[in-house]
Structure 1
Amino acid sequence: MKLYGYWRSSTSYRLRCALELKGLEYEQDPVSLIEARHKEDSFTSRNPFAGVPMLEADGRDRAQSMAIIAWLDERYPDKPLLPSDVEQRFTARELAYAVATELHAPLNLKVLKYLKDPLGHDQEEINTWYRHWLAATLVPVEKRLKQLDTGDFLFDRPGLFEAVLVPQLYNARRFDFELDACDKMVRIEQACLALPEFQRAHPDNQPDAPEV
């Protein structure tokens, strides 16, 4: 398998987490969003969505991170990302989809660029936009976690929800989002980041990450 992604892309990050949690081997071919490589004909001819990540696997180019993760779990059933219990699977999907569907659309790079040019918003206004939508979803996710009385992970080990949550909290910190009231999410994040799978998936450890 070959992963076409960008080191700081939250969707690329979540797919790396899923691949690592499932113990699957993959190569990486970085796609620079800053250089707009994702808009080049050589890329869009393979991925008409013109975004990352894209996974080349089983003779096909696969787009859309959540669809790819679902495919991985079906194609490689070992180390499943969802629990066996139907109600627990619903809970994992409820929380993961809340983050993936409610936050990625208003907060991805092309939206932020559109807010700046042509709409003319300055960076602080864009940061305010970003934090507003983070709160709209992360606050209820935190409330649900408190209702469930979770521990270090949503269930007994990290899976789909953790693979989606950790990248979003990484981005939240980039935009100075206040996480003091999100102690359940932060506890899960810290437990995940202590694991080698999440360490290998971290943006700082990617081949296209800038040198510090």
Structure 2
Amino acid sequence: METSSKPGDPLRGFHNVMCDGTKVVTEIVSDHGSIHLCLYLITQNIRDFKDMVVGFDTEWTFVDAGTGKIEARVVLIKLFSCIGCVLIRLDHKSGPVCQSLKKFLIMKDVIFVGIQIKEDLVKLRENFGIDIRNVVELTELAANVLRKPRLLACGPRDLAREVLKVGVEQRPQDVIWTSWAEESLTPEQIECATIDAYLTYKTGKKLLSKD
């Protein structure tokens, strides 16, 4: 994984190669200014390219909720668009969520596609006051379009194998058991998060074209 960016790349950060050979730039942001800039770039480019589909995914981890209890909470939002991947880190202790993020997620002309995200949506609303306007649950869409009810139980990688017909490995065990709330994400976490967000985006594009 490289960390340099080419001139003209809208995003800045880590470079990974996806299972189909696509090169993807992933930018990690947490402060309000950086989040606002990335979302501005996404908005401008998806409109310019007339590609209003955005892959949506999250990562959870166990955190101290401040009440003496340890709770599972969303600590990372993954957004994948035609310009690449943005990983937005959430911290329930750092004050209000960036208003630009809230506004972006309720844009009426953006279609957010996700896989097994119903509980994510509930937790984001409860913990951060975040709502998402136009959401498509891809397992339900795939089960309907392909007439395969078993797809309702799929995760991002299993559904991608079925819809995109690509070979993709399961998540590495060391990533599965790693906390997503650490100060810095490992290269393996970044790659894993990018792959899942990319597959969600590509699967959504394919299914929406068939619907």
Task: Tell me if TM exceeds 0.5.
Answer: no
Q: When the two structures are superposed, what TM-score results if normalisation uses the length of structure 2?
A: 0.28
- RCO higher in structure (CA 8 A, sep ≥6): 1
More strand by share: 2
More helix by share: 1
